[in-house]
């Protein structure tokens, strides 16, 4: 099962609301929390310096709720506390579980952190690993080699940046390539998704705090499933004070393996057919992957008279009727605009956000379920 977490910015939000949010997340099964001590260093309005008591109060509060607290820091944070040793000990005593290095530390210092008595998990910045640029790739290969030889690679994770400013996020391709590279060394990778509803505390003129730009406005369930299908292991909300329904979407995405494909019924689909389809059967696309559609063969045998013999646009859902003989009952998800076909009743349309998931389940190795709604 994948772990899932929240982000809090205690220097930018109301203390009572932040603590209520932490409690709600812990009660909902969230196991991780991210916070940052470098927002002042990066000139965010209202951000506090690393030695502000609000950080330690919030971290201690979250740790008591059994959340694994990850803290974003860099060499400037170390300067506040005098030395790397002092910083690590202080963070450990405050209740921090892992530290995410945003920059400024050398490979030998990273190796040192992994064997430090504070026993903190080290998160390297996955956004700095450019597989397409040999110099950057080789830099991290050397860092991994140094940690493996002089530290403990088992205590290393990676996490992508988040991008509050509109249009600045990275691509899914970058996620996929970097995850593939890091997994060769047993390093699991985390990333951030955005809320579609929460207020953006980190950039008022933008919306969402996430890693992948194309997922900025995508509902949390779909965004997180796309990241999981792309190699991400654990997921954080980048926004804070996320509403309950979206917290539930991230939790459901991480704890339930089958990808849910939500579609909306056309207005005249028989109630009897909806009742049969209410049972969500786990499906896989066929190994002999069709080019134009996804086949849900486990529904074969459902009886259906011809109706809604219409054009089948991309994202439509059909069920084969009695004219289709041995194929009767097979449900198909259409991947390109197709003409009508006497054997195929159009019963619904996949919701827009969920259409982004179709290319992943098309590959045939990812389980999915269909969920029809009115």
Q: Is the pLDDT of residue 132 over 90?
A: no
| Per-residue pLDDT, 40 | 87
| Predicted local distance difference test score (pLDDT) of residue 319 | 98
What's the chain's average pLDDT? 95
Q: How much is the pLDDT for 130? A: 87
**Angstrom distances, CA of residue 116 to CA of 87, 88, 151:** 11, 8, 9
| Ramachandran quadrant class, 46 (left: phi over 0; alpha: psi -120 to 50; beta: rest) | left
List, for residues 320-373, the tens digit of each pLDDT value: 999 999 999 999 999 999 999 999 999 999 999 999 999 999 988 899 999 999
pTM of the entire predicted model = 0.95
CA 344 to chain centre: 35
Using DSSP bridges, classify how beta strands 156-159 and 121-125 pair: parallel, antiparallel or unpaired: parallel
Shared fold status for 4-256 and 260-373 = no
Residues 102-115: pLDDT tens digits? 878 999 999 999 99
For 260-373, CATH number out of 2.30.30.110, 2.40.100.10, 3.30.460.80, 3.40.718.10 equals 2.40.100.10
269: pLDDT confidence band, cut at 50, 70 and 90? very high
Q: 350 - beta bridge partners?
A: 263
Q: Model confidence over 64-89: pLDDT tens digits?
A: 999 999 999 888 889 888 999 999 99
pLDDT at 139 over 90: no
pLDDT of residue 104: 80
- What Cα–Cα distance (Å) separates residue 92 from each residue in 64, 234, 260? 13, 22, 39
Q: Specify the pLDDT at position 364.
A: 81
Would strands 344-350 and 316-320 be described as parallel, antiparallel, or unpaired? antiparallel
- Residue 298 pLDDT level (bands cut at 50, 70, 90): very high
CATH (residue range 4-256): 3.20.20.70
What's the pLDDT at 6? 98
CA 96 vs. chain centroid, Å, equals 22
**Using an 8 Å Cβ cutoff, are 76 and 111 in contact?**
no
pLDDT higher than threshold 90 for residue 240: yes
Q: How confident is the model at residue 280 (pLDDT cuts 50, 70, 90)?
A: confident
* pLDDT for 143 beyond 90: yes
What pLDDT was estimated at residue 227?
A: 98
- Position 359 scores a pLDDT of 95
**Does residue 136 register a pLDDT over 90?**
no
How far is the C-alpha of 70 from the C-alpha of 184, rounded, in Å? 24
CB 6 within 8 A of CB 22: yes
pLDDT tens-place string over residues 41-72: 888 988 999 889 999 999 999 999 999 999 99
Q: Are 205 and 161 in contact (CB under 8 A)?
A: no
Q: Is the pLDDT of residue 135 over 90?
A: no
Q: What is the pLDDT of residue 74?
A: 87
How confident is the model over 187-204, as pLDDT tens digits? Answer: 999 999 999 999 999 999
- What mean pLDDT comes out for the span 130-149? 90
Question: Rounded CA gap, 271 and 318, in Å?
Answer: 16
Q: Summarize the confidence of residues 7-34 as an average pLDDT.
A: 97
What pLDDT was estimated at residue 27? 98
What are the percentages of helix, strand and coil residues in the chain, rounded to 5?
35, 20, 45
Q: Across-strand partners of 71?
A: 35, 99
Give me 105's structure tokens.
């530390």
Mean pLDDT of 130-148: 89
Q: Is residue 76 within 8 Å of 49, Cβ to Cβ?
A: no
Domain boundaries, the chain: 4-256, 260-373
């Amino acid at each position: 099962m994948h772990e899932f977490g929240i982000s809090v910015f205690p220097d930018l939000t109301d203390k009572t609301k932040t603590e209520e949010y932490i409690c709600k997340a812990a009660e909902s099964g969230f196991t991780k929390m991210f916070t940052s001590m470098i927002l002042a260093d990066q000139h965010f309005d209202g951000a506090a310096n690393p030695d502000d008591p609000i950080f330690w109060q919030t971290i201690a509060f979250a740790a008591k709720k059994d959340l694994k607290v990850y803290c974003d820091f860099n060499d400037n944070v170390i300067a506040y506390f005098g030395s790397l040793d002092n910083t690590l000990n202080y963070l450990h005593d405050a209740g921090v579980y892992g530290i995410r290095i945003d920059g400024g530390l050398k490979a030998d210092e990273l190796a040192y952190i992994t064997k430090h008595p504070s026993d903190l998990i080290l998160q390297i910045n996955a956004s700095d690993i450019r597989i397409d640029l040999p110099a950057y790739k080789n830099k991290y290969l050397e860092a991994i080699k140094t940690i493996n030889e002089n530290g403990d690679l088992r205590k290393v994770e990676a996490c992508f940046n988040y991008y509050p400013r509109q249009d600045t996020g990275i691509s899914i391709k970058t996620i996929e390539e970097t995850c593939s590279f890091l997994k060769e060394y047993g390093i699991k990778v985390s990333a951030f998704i955005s809320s579609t509803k929460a207020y953006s505390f980190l950039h008022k003129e933008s919306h969402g705090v996430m890693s992948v730009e194309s997922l900025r406005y995508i509902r949390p369930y779909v965004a997180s499933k796309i990241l999981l299908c792309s190699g991400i292991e654990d997921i954080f909300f980048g926004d804070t004070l996320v509403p309950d329904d979206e917290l539930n979407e991230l939790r459901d995405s991480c704890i339930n393996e089958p990808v849910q494909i939500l579609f909306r019924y056309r207005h005249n689909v028989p109630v009897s057919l909806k009742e049969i389809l209410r049972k969500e059967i786990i499906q896989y696309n066929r190994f002999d992957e069709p080019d134009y559609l996804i086949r849900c063969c486990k529904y074969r045998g459902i009886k259906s008279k011809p109706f809604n013999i219409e054009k089948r646009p991309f994202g439509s859902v059909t069920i084969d009727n009695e004219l289709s003989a041995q194929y009767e009952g097979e449900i198909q998800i259409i991947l390109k605009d197709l003409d009508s076909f006497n054997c195929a009743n159009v019963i619904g349309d996949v919701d827009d956000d969920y259409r982004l998931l179709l290319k992943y389940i098309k590959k045939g190795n990812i389980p999915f379920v269909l969920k029809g709604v009115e």
